[in-house]
A and B are shown apart, each in its own frame.
Chain A
Amino acid sequence: MNESGNKIYAIKTTAKQERTVADNVAKVIEGQKDIRVMAVIAPEELKGYVLVESPDSVARMEQLVEQIPHARAVVRLRGEESYTNLSEVEHFLVPKPVVSGITEGTIVEIIAGPFKGEKAVVKRIDTGKEEITVELYESMVPIPITVRGDSVRVVERSEEAV
């Protein structure tokens, strides 16, 4: 629990309905006073769950889940507390840039777009735009291609980065 007395609960949702559940929590909360919820997070990295900030007990959260379509259950750990602290989930609030693990010279595989499946070497990284410029590994002529940071998968890191 943090200084404001709020706890963070994880609620399991139907796949791809995280945003709908977050919206519905806000809608349900508006209409009643028994259950208090301060905020709901649906992080991109955490598929199938939403995080609810509330000072109430887990029983109240279960009551809330029953009223929300696509919300399945509150995550409970056997023998342990079923809530966590904000410090454990605050890294979700500041997402890392997708190009953070990539350096110049890294060998990547392109996983989307017309060059899908091709391997390439990273030549330049634009952290602001989250884009990387690569050169295809097997091409005869080196042609620089700029792709989005999330459309590549790291195959082998450059020696400098290790």
Chain B
Amino acid sequence: MVVRKKQVHVCRECHRVVDGEACVICGTSNLSEDWAGYLVIIDPERSEIARKMNITMAGRYALKVR
């Protein structure tokens, strides 16, 4: 039996990793399966990386979305 890995979608607008059919933050269904690089923001207020990336919400993000 061939087990296919579940495709993870990323919002093209905010680069957030999305579980459902639409992005919960932007509300858009403009999602992409073709992305690279992964970023997990845990504490956006104290994270220097979040500040550099202009991210204000904790969550999982993609670094590059095609």
Contact = CB atoms under 8 A, between A and B. Distances in A.
B47 interface: yes
Interface stretch (A16-24, A76-84, A111-119, A151-159): A16-24
User: How many A residues touch the partner, as a band?
Assistant: 20 to 34
A107 B48 CA distance: 41
Given A19-B38, A39-B42, A42-B37, A130 B66 contact: yes
User: How many B residues touch the partner, as a band?
Assistant: 10 to 19
A6 B41 CA distance: 14
Contacts of A25: 40, 42
A66 interface: no
Interface of A: 2-4, 6, 18-19, 22-23, 25-26, 29, 36-44, 53, 55, 86, 90, 92-95, 129-130
